[in-house]
Structure 1
Amino acid sequence: MSDFQTETTPTARKQHKCCECYGVIQPGQQYSLVTGCWGGDMDTFKTCMPCVEARTWATVQPEWGGDGEHLYYFGRLDEDLADLAPEIRSHDGRRFHAYRLQVLMTRRRDAGRTIRAAA
């Protein structure tokens, strides 16, 4: 839990890297910017909108677990989805959706590597 934090949704003026998928946030794209203090240390996290949507979906799943209070750690979305998917026992497509979100994150990560290598 944070000591304090602010969250905004700015439009990128330059290229940024998503803290979740490590993909590129291009100029002109909106992203989530969370700045705050956790355990006495200040930090900033920039998250692309597809990862924000994936995180929002994952954290409302009943299988997310916890003691009623959601705990989320920036930079762990890929691992959280990998942990969540096998926990989903229903046959309504949610397990497939969790795996699909992981694949999309991997594609953004790979595309970001290609863009950074070309620069």
Structure 2
Amino acid sequence: MTQFVLAGVLGLLFTVGTFLVLRRDIVRVVWGVTIIAQSANVYLVTMGGLSGTVPIVGHGPPANPGSVTDPLVQALVLTAIVIGFGTTAFALVLTYRVYEEHGTIDLDELGETGGEV
């Protein structure tokens, strides 16, 4: 049951992200890419396993080796979150610079200028 709920939430996140990427406003495009990246992180955590125990089990082998959660997936997702935060901040700063230079963040209006500075 939990997998079906998470699949629905992931589908909704990817849908919202795709909807925002297809907008004309640069800020919405940046947020759409961010939502898609974060939904990919949720997907990775979901596939890494939701139930299990911590990998620190003390001395000796664990009683049930199949129930230990893999910490590698969580470490990779944490790294992806930090990198995504930095990339989003950089994209928003670039968007602000585009607005300062051109006076608009509408992609159609920026396309009409032909890249003139």
Report TM bin, short chain.
Answer: 0.3 to 0.5
TM-score by length of 2: 0.37
The structure with the larger Rg is 2
Higher helix share: 2
Higher strand share: 1
